[in-house]
Amino acid sequence: MPDRGGGPTGPRMRVGRPSRRVRTLLMTLGVLAVLGMAFTMFAGFWTDWLWYRSVNYSSVFTTTLWTKIGLFFVFGLLMAVAVGVNIWLAHRLRPPLSAMSMEQQNLDRYRMSIAPYKKWLLLGITSLVGLIAGASASGQWRTWLMWVNGVSFGQKDPQFKLDVSFYAFDLPWYRFLLGFGFAAAILSVIAAALTHYLYGGLRVTSPGARATAAATGHLSVLLGIFVALKAVAYWLDRYGLAVKSSDFRATDNWTGLRYVDANAYLPAKTILFCIAVICALLFFATLWRRTWQLPVIGFGLMVLSAILIGGLYPAIVQKFQVQPNEQAKEAPYVEKNLEATRKAYGIDGTKVTDYTGTSTTEDKTELRDDVDATASIRIMDPNIVSPTFQQLQQIRNYYAFPNNLDVDRYAKDGKEQDTVIGLRELNLAGIPKKNWINNHFRYTHGFGVVAAEGTSADAQGRPNFTESDLPSEGDLGTYEQRIYYGEKTDTYSIVGGPQKEIDYSDDNGEKTTSYKGDSGVNLSNPVNRAAYAVAFGEPQILYSGAIGDGSRILYNRTPKERVEAVAPWLTIDGDAYPAVVDGRIQWIVDAYTTTNGYPYSSRTTLGDTTADSLTATNDNRAVVAQQNQVNYIRNSVKATVDAYTGEVKLFQWDTKDPVLKTWMKAFPDTVEPKSDISKSLMDHLRYPQDLFKVQRELLTRYHVKDATTFLSGSEVWQVPDDPTNRSGNAVPPYYLSMKMPDQKAQAFSLTTTFTPNGRDNLSAFMAVDAEAGTSDYGKIRILKLPTNTTVNGPKQVQSQFNSQEDIAESIRLLRGGDSEVEYGNLLTVPLDGGLLYVEPVYVRGGGLKYPLLRKVLVTYGGQTAFENTLDEALNKVFGAEGATPEPPDEGDTPPPPTSENPTVQQALEDAQKAFDAGQEALKENDWEAYGRAQKDLEDALQRAEDAQAEASRGGGGAGGGESQPSGSPSPKPSS
**Could you read off the pLDDT of 761-782 as tens digits, one per residue?**
999 999 999 999 899 999 999 9
pLDDT value of residue 691: 94
Span 820-845, average pLDDT: 91
pLDDT value of residue 645: 95
Q: Do 564 and 60 form a contact (C-beta atoms < 8 A)?
A: no
HEC letters along 563-593: HHHHCCCCEECCCCEEEEECCEEEEEEEEEE
Closest Cα partner for 830 from 228, 303, 304, 357?
357
pLDDT value of residue 198: 84
Q: Do 461 and 854 form a contact (C-beta atoms < 8 A)?
A: yes
Closest Cα partner for 226 from 183, 260, 264?
183
Span 365-380, average pLDDT: 89
User: Phi, psi (5° rounding) for residue 547?
Assistant: -105, 130
pLDDT value of residue 82: 95
pLDDT value of residue 846: 64
How much of the chain is helix, strand and coil, in % rounded to 5? Answer: 45, 20, 35
Partner residues linked to 630 by β-bridges: 604
Pairwise CA distance, residues 137 & 73, whole Å: 9
Instruction: Please tell me the least confidently modeled range out of 144-148, 320-324, 583-587.
Output: 320-324
* 636-639: long-range pairs with CB below 8 Å, 24+: 636/591, 636/592, 636/593, 636/660, 637/567, 637/570, 637/590, 637/591, 637/592, 637/593, 637/671, 638/588, 638/589, 638/590, 638/591, 638/677, 638/685, 639/559, 639/563, 639/567, 639/588, 639/589, 639/590, 639/591
Span 631-657, average pLDDT: 96
Pairwise CA distance, residues 886 & 907, whole Å: 24
Span 577-600, average pLDDT: 95
Partner residues linked to 482 by β-bridges: 447
Pairwise CA distance, residues 202 & 216, whole Å: 9
Indicate if the pLDDT at residue 831 is higher than 50. Answer: yes
pLDDT value of residue 820: 85
R_g over Cα of the chain: 37
Q: Do 451 and 421 form a contact (C-beta atoms < 8 A)?
A: yes
pLDDT value of residue 355: 93
CA angle 369, 371, 374 (to 5 degrees): 115
Query: Which pLDDT tens digit goes with each residue over 225-276?
Result: 999 999 999 999 999 999 998 877 655 588 999 999 999 999 999 999 999 9
CA separation, residue 93 to residues 189, 198, 295, 637 (Å): 15, 12, 22, 59
Pairwise CA distance, residues 60 & 72, whole Å: 18
Pairwise CA distance, residues 783 & 907, whole Å: 45
Indicate if the pLDDT at residue 687 is higher than 90. Answer: yes
Instruction: Please tell me the least confidently modeled range out of 10-24, 239-253, 518-532.
Output: 10-24
CA angle 867, 873, 875 (to 5 degrees): 135
Q: Do 751 and 828 form a contact (C-beta atoms < 8 A)?
A: yes
Q: In this structure, how many other beta carbons lie within 10 angstroms of the beta carbon of residue 239? A: 21
Helix (H, G, I), strand (E, B), or coil: what is residue 446?
A: strand
Partner residues linked to 457 by β-bridges: 463
717: Cβ contacts below 8 Å, ≥ 6 apart: 699, 700, 701, 703, 754, 755, 756, 757, 763, 764
pLDDT value of residue 972: 35
Pairwise CA distance, residues 365 & 785, whole Å: 24
Closest Cα partner for 273 from 322, 310, 319, 327?
310
Pairwise CA distance, residues 417 & 372, whole Å: 13
Query: Which pLDDT tens digit goes with each residue over 45-60?
Result: 999 999 999 999 999 9
DSSP of 387-403 = HHHHHHH--STTEE--S
Q: In this structure, how many other beta carbons lie within 10 angstroms of the beta carbon of residue 803? A: 9
Q: How does strand 482-483 pair with strand 446-447?
A: antiparallel
Angle between helices 794-803 and 805-814 (to 10 degrees): 80
Partner residues linked to 782 by β-bridges: 352, 766
Partner residues linked to 513 by β-bridges: 501
Indicate if the pLDDT at residue 520 is higher than 80. Answer: yes
Indicate if the pLDDT at residue 101 is higher than 80. Answer: no
Name the band, by pLDDT with cuts 50, 70 and 90, for residue 510. confident
Measured on CA atoms in the order 486, 488, 493, 496, is the torsion positive or negative? Answer: negative
Which comes out higher in pLDDT, residue 37 or 138?
Answer: 138
Which comes out higher in pLDDT, residue 921 or 428?
Answer: 428
pLDDT value of residue 660: 97
pLDDT value of residue 893: 39
Q: In this structure, how many other beta carbons lie within 10 angstroms of the beta carbon of residue 362? A: 6
Query: Which pLDDT tens digit goes with each residue over 410-438?
Result: 988 778 899 999 999 999 988 888 999 99
Query: Which pLDDT tens digit goes with each residue over 858-901?
Result: 999 888 899 999 999 999 998 876 443 334 444 333 433 333 35
Name the band, by pLDDT with cuts 50, 70 and 90, for residue 395. confident
Name the band, by pLDDT with cuts 50, 70 and 90, for residue 523. very high
pLDDT value of residue 8: 43
Indicate if the pLDDT at residue 963 is higher than 50. Answer: no
Pairwise CA distance, residues 307 & 301, whole Å: 10
pLDDT value of residue 36: 74
Pairwise CA distance, residues 521 & 224, whole Å: 56
Measured on CA atoms in the order 802, 921, 399, 436, is the torsion positive or negative? Answer: positive
pLDDT value of residue 295: 80
Taking the model in full, what pTM does it have?
0.84
Instruction: Please tell me the least confidently modeled range out of 87-101, 453-467, 594-608.
Output: 87-101
Pairwise CA distance, residues 716 & 722, whole Å: 19
Instruction: Please tell me the least confidently modeled range out of 453-457, 499-503, 603-607, 666-670.
Output: 603-607
Span 558-572, average pLDDT: 94
Pairwise CA distance, residues 421 & 472, whole Å: 12
Name the band, by pLDDT with cuts 50, 70 and 90, for residue 683. very high
**Over pLDDT 90: what percentage of the chain?**
53
Which comes out higher in pLDDT, residue 407 or 724?
Answer: 407
Closest Cα partner for 580 from 447, 480, 687?
480
**Over pLDDT 70: what percentage of the chain?**
87
Pairwise CA distance, residues 938 & 946, whole Å: 12
Closest Cα partner for 947 from 890, 919, 908?
908
Measured on CA atoms in the order 343, 344, 346, 350, is the torsion positive or negative? Answer: negative
Closest Cα partner for 282 from 299, 270, 268?
299
Span 532-539, average pLDDT: 92
* 647-652: long-range pairs with CB below 8 Å, 24+: 647/55, 647/519, 648/55, 648/57, 648/562, 648/563, 648/566, 650/563, 650/566, 650/567, 650/591, 651/676, 651/677
Indicate if the pLDDT at residue 370 is higher than 50. Answer: yes
CA separation, residue 162 to residues 133, 148, 153, 341, 628 (Å): 31, 18, 10, 17, 25
Measured on CA atoms in the order 195, 198, 199, 201, is the torsion positive or negative? Answer: positive
Pairwise CA distance, residues 356 & 787, whole Å: 10
Which comes out higher in pLDDT, residue 464 or 618?
Answer: 464
Query: Which pLDDT tens digit goes with each residue over 449-494?
Result: 999 999 999 888 899 999 999 899 999 999 999 999 999 998 999 9
Q: Do 493 and 514 form a contact (C-beta atoms < 8 A)?
A: no
Span 926-944, average pLDDT: 70
CA angle 613, 618, 621 (to 5 degrees): 85
